[in-house]
Amino acid sequence: MQNSTTASSLWRPWTPISKQAAPLQIVEARGNRVRDVDGNWYLDGISGVLNASCGHAHPRLIEAATQQMSRLVHYDPMVSSHEPAETLTARLAELLPGELTATCLLNSGSEAMEAALRIALQHWRNIGEDRDRVITFEAGYHGSTYLAQQLSGLPFTVSEWARPFPVDHVAMPRPARDVRTEEACDELIAAFTAAFENGTPVAAVVVEPLLGLGGCVVLPPGFLTRLRKLCDRHGSLLILDEVFTGFGRTGRMFGFDHDGITPDVVTMSKGISSGYLPLAAVTVTSTIKDSFAREPIIQGLRYGHTTGGHAVAAAVANAVLDVMADEKLVENAAARGDELLAGLGLLRSNPLITDVRGLGLVVAVETVSPDAGETIAAAAARAGVMTRHERGIIRIAPPLTTTAADVAEIVQKISAATDQAHR
Ligand SMILES: Cc1ncc(COP(=O)(O)O)c(C=O)c1O
């Protein structure tokens, strides 16, 4: 077995070449904790890849996967369907509001965004309207495939090649720490209004309910309601990227539930299968789906993947929904999230910390510099809490199964790491 000091043939994405060698090796995960190759256990403050909402090695998810694996692994989605996918899409139609009833199943968040963009842009062609402009947040992140990549204005994800459709990026009017006020909401809406008015008719607006990679920006209450109205006024589609926020992460089933709106298109991944197997979904309104009867070439959706809606992954997703309901994980995310935010909020008095913000079980500790963030995150890891540090912001998003005792331990260890970094 390869240990952490030998050379590796694995090329890890999103990681500098200089950091490819000797990475941390995780060998086991149980409940809310993970163990490295040297035998150290950590509280998992990042839910695997921000997706293990039901915790690790959940017996009901393993059982669902095992049973489905022995019955039917998968079958061609173009010539047939199977029970796990039929059940899952029917359940999503129940969970999602309004006319959001047509779901296409895919493998990754980027694929869901890719499909969402193709569907939205093609919809306008299907109904004979010439619209292809998209408005989105500059600090948004929607995935790394070519179309999804067009949406982000973040420097590390920006595309160097020709844009396949026009995209207008809206900048944050204020730093993330000042954005949850009514004035900031007015400024944000003014910026989106200006983007609508300066250019060709808008096909779609794409936003995350909470900007994860773009600095863990918690948007002001009421912003999505006003954005929905703006889209309605211009007849444009509203696409909500729930890849990170969906399935309870923010203390509600979906991030947009905080504002009680109904989007036209919703993308989901990560929590949908608790990360046990790759799975993603894009759900659209019946009106959008019906327009594809008039799609000029195949009168349907010209998009799909061999393993999209894989039967084992879909069976796990159905078990995830059962576990979430039985273990009241959305409610737990809201309650534990409040405790986590209150506990880590005390760090605001430390001179290294410029803000602590969050919604449900995602909390960001913003530090004065990337160096400070790196130092605190490394000290927290040494103390036994895994976090995710990006450009000075430490993100803590533990599984939705996190207990009050886990929260207390996370708070105590990150606080100690911050004090130690300040000394
Ligand atoms: C909001 C959001 N959208 C899309 C994606 C892309 O998902 P994936 O990495 O599964 O392609 C991510 C991934 O982190 C995300 O956070």
The answer to whether the beta carbons of residues 127 and 195 sit under 8 Å apart is no
Expressed as residue numbers, the domain containing 150 is 62-326
Shared-domain flag, residues 170 and 252: yes
Q: Is residue 11 part of a domain?
A: no
Give the total number of structural domains in the chain. 2
Check pLDDT > 80 for residue 6. Answer: no
Q: Over pLDDT 70: what percentage of the chain?
A: 99
Q: Is residue 295 part of a domain?
A: yes
Q: Is residue 9 part of a domain?
A: no
**pLDDT tens by residue, 210-265:** 999 999 999 999 999 999 999 999 999 999 999 999 999 999 999 999 999 999 99
Nearest-CA neighbor of 207 among 125, 250, 152? 152
Shared-domain flag, residues 372 and 303: no
Whole-number pLDDT of residue 160: 87
Q: Which atom of ligand 1 lies at the shortest distance from residue 140's CA? A: 1
Hey, which bits of 173-253 come out as E strands?
A: 202-207, 210-211, 217-218, 237-241
Neighbours of 93 (CB within 10 A): 15
Shared-domain flag, residues 227 and 369: no
CA of 147 from ligand 1 middle (Å) equals: 13
Check pLDDT > 50 for residue 5. Answer: no
Q: Is residue 156 part of a domain?
A: yes
Shared-domain flag, residues 307 and 342: no
Shared-domain flag, residues 203 and 231: yes
Check pLDDT > 70 for residue 1. Answer: no
Check pLDDT > 60 for residue 365. Answer: yes
Shared-domain flag, residues 288 and 355: no
Average pLDDT, the chain: 96
Report how far residue 378's alpha carbon sits from residue 358's, in angstroms, rounded to the nearest whole number: 21
Question: Of 280, 298, 326, at which residue does a domain stop?
Answer: 326
DSSP for residue 56: B
User: Which of 244, 272, 305 is the best mutation target for the ligand 1 pocket, counting ligand atoms within 8 Å of the beta carbon and taking the most?
Assistant: 244
CA of 109 from ligand 1 middle (Å) equals: 5
Question: Of 326, 351, 382, at which residue does a domain stop?
Answer: 326
Atom 13, ligand 1: residue with shortest CA distance: 143
Q: Is residue 164 part of a domain?
A: yes
Question: Of 326, 349, 384, at which residue does a domain stop?
Answer: 326
Contacts 24+ apart (CB under 8 A), 245-248: 245/208, 245/209, 245/210, 245/212, 245/362, 246/270, 246/271, 246/272, 247/53, 247/271, 247/272, 247/320, 247/324, 248/53, 248/324, 248/329, 248/330, 248/333, 248/360, 248/361, 248/400
Q: What would the mean pLDDT of 389-408 be, rounded to a whole number?
A: 97
Shared-domain flag, residues 163 and 218: yes
Q: What would the mean pLDDT of 384-405 be, rounded to a whole number?
A: 97
Q: Is residue 319 part of a domain?
A: yes
Check pLDDT > 50 for residue 69. Answer: yes
CA of 246 from ligand 1 middle (Å) equals: 11
Which residue ranges have their beta carbon within 6 Å of ligand 1? 108-110, 113, 141-143, 208, 212-213, 241, 243-244, 269
Shared-domain flag, residues 338 and 209: no
User: Which of 46, 141, 256, 272 is the best mutation target for the ligand 1 pocket, counting ligand atoms within 8 Å of the beta carbon and taking the most?
Assistant: 141
Shared-domain flag, residues 351 and 398: yes
Whole-number pLDDT of residue 2: 43
**pLDDT tens by residue, 281-304:** 999 999 999 999 999 999 999 999
Q: Is residue 1 part of a domain?
A: no
Kindly report the CATH number assigned to the domain that includes residue 204. 3.40.640.10
Whole-number pLDDT of residue 7: 74
Shared-domain flag, residues 390 and 334: yes
